[in-house]
Each structure stands twice: as C-alpha cells, then as structure tokens.
Structure 1
Amino acid sequence: MKNKYFEDEEIVDNDLFFVCYMIECVARRIHQKNEYVVNTIGFDNLYHLLSVANVLHSENPKQVEEDWIEEYKLVSGDFNIIDVDSELCSIIPTPLDMGKVYSKLIVDTALLNEDYVKGIVRVYNDEICEVIDDYNNGAFYEPSYVIARAYKNGEF
C-alpha cells in the first residue's frame, strides 16, 4: 500500500501494527470497543494515520491517544475490556499484545488486492472480535494461525 503523502514510500506491517496498537489504547482509555474507534475515525482518516504511523510511533503514546480522541471527537462509553472474571482470566493482554493480534489477523486474512485500511475496517467490524476481546476465554492467546482459521470459519 502506498503512503498517502509520499508515493515512493510503502506503508508496511509495522505501520499497521502501530495503528492497531493505538486503536486498542484509545478504546481502553475511552471505554469503547475497538469497532467504535475504527468506525468513528473512518476510512480516509485511517489511511492518513497509516501514512504517518512511521512518524507517530516516535511520539508519546499518551499524547497520540489524546490527539486522536480530540481530533476524531471520540466520546467515552461504558465498555471496560479489562473488567474480567479473575477466576477465568489470569492474564490481561496489553494494548501492544492486542495490536499484534489484530495486525497479524488483518495480514493473515487479507483479501485479494485489499489494502490495510480495508483490512482494518473488515476485521474490526467482524463478530469474531467479540470473542477475541472477551479475555475470559483466552482466545487472544491462541497462535495467530488458529485465530485466522477461526476468523475464516466464523467461530472458534
């Protein structure tokens, strides 16, 4: 995928990973689901964020969160992803962990000629995210090929 601002530069998997990581950070901070963050930011703005990810990754992540919340008018909700049953869940993945899970899922299930923006929108709007984001079941902890197969099959 070509960078929006520098046509000689490619957007790479690491840029995708950074954007997925920040989606997770922002969603946790405002107590919303990742799907809300992705859909509110929108296609064109996601393309912009992927194109500047190689610069943003050197910024303070907390400041990037604040900037996204303000710029894209993201509002707080009441979904707390880390509100888990401690009897069922001994590990709560970090935003970095989940950024890796989602970026790998996007790459592993990419459709023919699909760019990263379309992949982000496709994956984060899929019902499988309800399972992946329910930390009580540990689906996020599965190897990436198992998560990709579950996505393609429509269930774990």
Structure 2
Amino acid sequence: MKNVFFEDEEITDNDLYFICYMIERVARKLHQRNKYVVNNVEPMEWRRLISLANVLHCENPLKVEQEWIDENELKTGTFDITDVDKELVDEIPWETQMGKVYTRLILNTLGENEDYIGGMIRVYNDDICETIDNYNASAYYEPSYVIARAYNEGGF
C-alpha cells in the first residue's frame, strides 16, 4: 500500500499497528466496540491516517485519540470492554497488546489484492471480534496462527 502523501513511500506493518492500537484506545475511551470506531471513519480518512501514522506515533496518544473523536464526531456508548469477571481475569490486556493481536490477524488474513485498510475494515467487522474481545475467555491470548485459523474457519 502506498502513502497517499508520498507515492514513493510504502505503508508498513508498523503503521497498521499504530492504527489498530489507536482504534483500541478510542473504543475503550468511548465505551464502544472497535467495530464502531472503524465503521464511523470513512475509508479515505483511514488511508490518510495510516499515511500519517509514522508521524502521529510521535504525538501524545491522548491528543491523537481526542482528535480522532472530534474530527469524526464519534459518540460515547455503553460497552465497557474492561468489565470482566475478576475471578477469571487477573489482568486486562493493554491497548498495545490488542493492537498487536488485530494487526497480526489482519496481516495473516490479508487477501492478494487487498490493502491494509480493506483488511482492517473486513477483520473488525467480523463476528470473531466479539470472541477476541471477551477477556473472560482466552481467545485474544492464543497464538496468531490459531486466531487466523479460527477467523478463516468462522470461529473458535
């Protein structure tokens, strides 16, 4: 995938990771599912954001998340991903950890003619995300090839 601002520059896996990490941050702040964030930002805006990822990662993440919320008019919801059974969950995964989980899933299932943004929209809109984001279970903790296989087979 090419950078929309610099046609000689390729978008990297790290740029995709930054986007997935920020989706997780914004979704948690707004008490929404990741799918909400992904679907309420236009695909062209995602292409702009991923093209700026190598610069945005140097910014304060709190500033970047607030800009995403304001610029895309994202609203607060009622879903709290951190509301888990304390007897089952010792530690909730960090946004960085979940960003890596989703980055690997996108990369492991990317179609031959699909770019990162197409893969991202496809993955975050799949029902498997509800399983991955259920921290009372351990799907998010599985090796990336197991998660990719579950995705390809329609579930765990």
CA distance, structure 2, for counterparts of residue 126 and residue 85 of structure 1: 24
CA distance, structure 2, for counterparts of residue 90 and residue 119 of structure 1: 32
Residue 67 of structure 2 is matched in structure 1 by 67
TM-align CA RMSD: 0.6
State the AA in 2 paired with 1:53: A
Deviation at 1:42, TM superposition (A): 2.1
Q: Quick check: 1:37–1:74 contact (8 Å CA) kept in 2?
A: yes
* Structure 2: gaps of 5 or more residues: none
Matched, 1:114 2:114: yes
Deviation at 1:88, TM superposition (A): 1.5
Identity percentage over the alignment? 60
Q: Quick check: 1:15–1:53 contact (8 Å CA) kept in 2?
A: yes
Equivalent residues, number: 156
Residue 19 of structure 1 is matched in structure 2 by 19
Deviation at 1:91, TM superposition (A): 2.5
Q: Quick check: 1:89–1:138 contact (8 Å CA) kept in 2?
A: no
* Structure 1: gaps of 5 or more residues: none
CA distance, structure 2, for counterparts of residue 72 and residue 138 of structure 1: 32
1:72-95 Cα shifts (integer Å, max 9, x gaps): 000000000000011122221000
Moved over 4 A (4+): none
CA distance, structure 2, for counterparts of residue 67 and residue 12 of structure 1: 23
- TM-score between the two structures when normalised by the length of structure 1: 0.99
